[in-house]
């Protein structure tokens, strides 16, 4: 299972390591031609404004959107969630986005860096708490009809799924966890078989 990690900016290496542990073959994707060969894609943590601008400037935004819309599995964490969201609420917009996931998010809603935290959260389908990190995290404030909530923290959704797309407010990739990556690899495997 060849899973790409969007490598324009952010914690690419951490996702590559987590995917390897989860049994996938990760490849870093920076160019359109590299996008064609992957069975799924992780959009990592980083700065959503920076990654969005680079996607637009280097002609990746449209090809990536088309592949996701035609069924390529995607996992977006933190900045990745923002880039996938159909709607960003408030002044802190991220103008260059895929807009493929039917949710409204608010950037930096959990506060500035001094408010960043780790927590053990319950995730649907995983039989033990999963240790994750919220770093200047975005909040999911609205979900569409086709969106399933897989985890909540303080009464807000923090991990959601819409068909072949998974997205989280938090980082599952910097705490040594691989449970979320295993779940994503399972989605990609199922997707390829059907």
Partner 1 sequence: MADSLKDTGGLRVKRGLADMLKGGVIMDVTTVDQAKIAEDAGAVAVMALERVPADIRAEGGVARMADPERMVGIMEAVSIPVMAKCRIGHFVEAQVLQSLGVDYIDESEVLTPADEAHHVDKWDFTVPFVCGATNLGEALRRIGEGATMVRSKGEAGTGNVVEAVRHMRSISSSIRRLRSARPEELMAEAKELGAPYELVREVAQAGSLPVVLFTAGGVATPADAALMMQLGADGVFVGSGIYKSGDPALRARAIVEATTYFTDPDIIAKVSRGLGEPMVGISMGQIPEVDRLAQRGW
Q: What are the catalytic residues? A: 78, 171, 173
Region for 138 from its dihedrals, namely left if φ exceeds 0, alpha if ψ lies in -120 to 50, beta otherwise = beta
Number of residues that bind partner 1 (CB under 8 A): 46
Select from 66-74, 127-135, 142-150, 182-190 the region that touches partner 1 (CB under 8 A). Answer: 127-135
Binder of partner 1 out of 1, 3, 12, 159 (CB under 8 A): 12
**Nearest CB to partner 1, comparing residues 62 and 122:** 122
The answer to whether the CB of 149 falls within 8 A of the CB of 143 is yes
Region for 30 from its dihedrals, namely left if φ exceeds 0, alpha if ψ lies in -120 to 50, beta otherwise = alpha
Report 140-179 residues binding partner 1 (CB under 8 A): 152-154, 171, 174-175
Distance, in Å, from the CA atom of 24 to the CA atom of 165, rounded to the nearest integer, reads 17
Determine, following the binding rule CB under 8 A, whether residue 136 of this chain makes contact with partner 1.
yes
CB neighbour class for 85 (10 Å; exposed up to 12, middle 13-18, buried from 19): buried
Select from 17-25, 33-41, 63-71, 134-142 the region that touches partner 1 (CB under 8 A). Answer: 134-142
Binder of partner 1 out of 33, 70, 113, 194 (CB under 8 A): 113
**Nearest CB to partner 1, comparing residues 133 and 188:** 133
Binder of partner 1 out of 78, 130, 166, 188 (CB under 8 A): 78
Report 26-65 residues binding partner 1 (CB under 8 A): 30, 45-47, 49-50, 53-54, 57-58
Contacts of 76 (CB under 8 A, 6+ apart): 42, 43, 82, 83, 84, 101, 165, 166, 167, 168
* Structure letter (DSSP) for residue 171: B
**Nearest CB to partner 1, comparing residues 9 and 191:** 9
Quote the crossing angle between the two packed helices 12-21 and 179-193, to the nearest 10°: 70
């Amino acid at each position: 299972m060849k899973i790409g990690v969007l490598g324009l900016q952010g914690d690419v290496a951490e996702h590559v390591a987590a995917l390897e542990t989860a049994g996938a073959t990760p490849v870093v994707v920076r160019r359109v031609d590299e996008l064609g060969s992957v069975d799924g894609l992780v959009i990592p943590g980083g700065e959503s404004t920076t990654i969005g601008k680079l996607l637009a400037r280097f002609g990746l935004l449209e090809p990536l959107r088309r592949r996701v819309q035609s069924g390529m599995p995607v996992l977006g964490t933190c900045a990745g969630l923002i880039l996938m969201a159909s709607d960003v609420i408030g002044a802190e917009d991220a103008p260059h986005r895929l807009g493929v996931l039917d949710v409204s998010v608010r950037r930096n809603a959990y506060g500035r860096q001094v408010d960043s935290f780790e927590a053990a959260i319950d995730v649907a389908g995983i039989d033990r708490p999963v240790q994750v990190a919220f770093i200047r995290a975005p909040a999911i404030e609205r979900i569409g009809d086709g969106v399933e909530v897989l985890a909540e923290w303080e009464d807000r959704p923090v991990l959601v799924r819409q068909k072949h797309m998974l997205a989280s407010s938090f980082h599952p990739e910097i705490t040594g966890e691989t449970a979320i990556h295993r779940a994503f690899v399972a989605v990609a495997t199922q997707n390829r078989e059907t």
